[in-house]
Amino acid sequence: MASGCKRGCRTIVIAFVLVLLAAAAAGAWLWQRYQTFADQPIAGLVAGQAVEIARGDSFAGVLRKLRGQGVQTGHDLEWRLLARQSGTDSQLKVGEYALSPGITPRRLLANMRSGRIIQYRFTLVEGWNIRQLRAALRAAAPLQQRTAELDDAALMAALGHAGQHPEGRFLPETYLYSRSDSDLDVLKRAHAAMQKALDEAWAARRPDVPLQSAEQALILASIIEKETGIASERPEIAGVFARRLKLGMPLQTDPTVIYGIGSAYDGNIRKRDLLTDTPYNTYTRRGLTPTPIAMPGRDALHAAVNPKDGDALFFVAVGDGSGRHVFSATLAEHNAAVVRYLATRRRTLQEASGQ
């Protein structure tokens, strides 16, 4: 009887050990499969795919969206285990996430947990006016449009700056935005960036600069921005304008005349345009224009409040297409430079046309 019990107990123990070994083997196999799933590139993806997590989405909802994008790797249980292990299931960040070919489930969930969303770029170009800026925003995708139906006054009110003229108020830089952002979001950042840059420039101004306020510095910077695209020339052009302001001379700068013409400008500036008085005609009026005429960059802001010393009161383009200028101290020197400019310009045009 005792011998039969021993044999039966031994059988039970062996069977139990076999079950444990089988369970361990199954567990090891499942763990290996789970690890392979977590670090194996997701199948079925092509370049440009993305998935968007909206506010209130559950992890189950995110899995359905992934399946809708063609994600084929793994089963829901494996995704749930990985999400629980990484803490992603309770920490999903709202946003749009790239489903790039080669991405693994582990990396994708890590991106969703850290909020590594897709970001788009919008570049505000130095020298743009407000019309150009608004047109570029309308064309920016996938930026949400909130301002298309607003006029300039309503736009500034929506930004929290009612009564402020929009020209020159947005800093030329590259701004990152997500799919959920709107044009108002970008403009708010650009406005705040310009105000900060202007405050910094004004605080670092030369004590003898002939400007009464940061507002005047912004106006002058916008004129400098439109006069040259060569950064090294901006302080020298600022010096010409500063000396003219001190002497009470009109600035006589074509970009202000063009701005005053507005949408009627056809690409040519004529003598009658220089003689037609508008608030922006610096040939018929002394001093600065009533508002900026463009969006100046940081270099132009710095130049406006730190003009270069010298005796030049005039400048004219070289005319060779380089954008460079010739600076002169006297009208006679300037007139001679204008003659050279016209000759160079004619020669350049002839060479371009093959004559």
Predicted confidence (pLDDT) per residue in 318-347, tens digit: 888 888 999 999 999 999 999 999 888 888
**Around Cβ 314, how many Cβ atoms within 10 Å?**
19
Cβ atoms of 71 and 109 within 8 Å: the answer is no
DSSP 3-state of 274: helix
* Nearest of 190, 130, 181 to residue 159 by alpha carbon: 190
Domain with CATH 3.30.1490 in the chain: 37-117
Bridge partner list, 121: 176
Identity of the residue numbered 73: T
**Quick one: average pLDDT of 96-102?**
93
Which of the pair, 322 or 160, is modelled with greater confidence? Answer: 160
13-61 confidence digits (pLDDT tens): 565 655 555 454 444 444 555 567 888 898 888 888 999 999 989 988 9
Which of the pair, 62 or 242, is modelled with greater confidence? Answer: 242
Cβ atoms of 301 and 221 within 8 Å: the answer is yes
CA distance 249 to 264: 28
pLDDT for the residue 105? 92
CA distance 64 to 24: 32
pLDDT for the residue 10? 65
273-311 confidence digits (pLDDT tens): 999 999 999 999 999 999 999 999 999 999 999 999 999
Class for the domain spanning 37-117 = alpha beta
Token reading at 295: 């969006």
CA distance 43 to 78: 15
Is the pLDDT score of 194 beyond 70? yes
pLDDT for the residue 88? 83
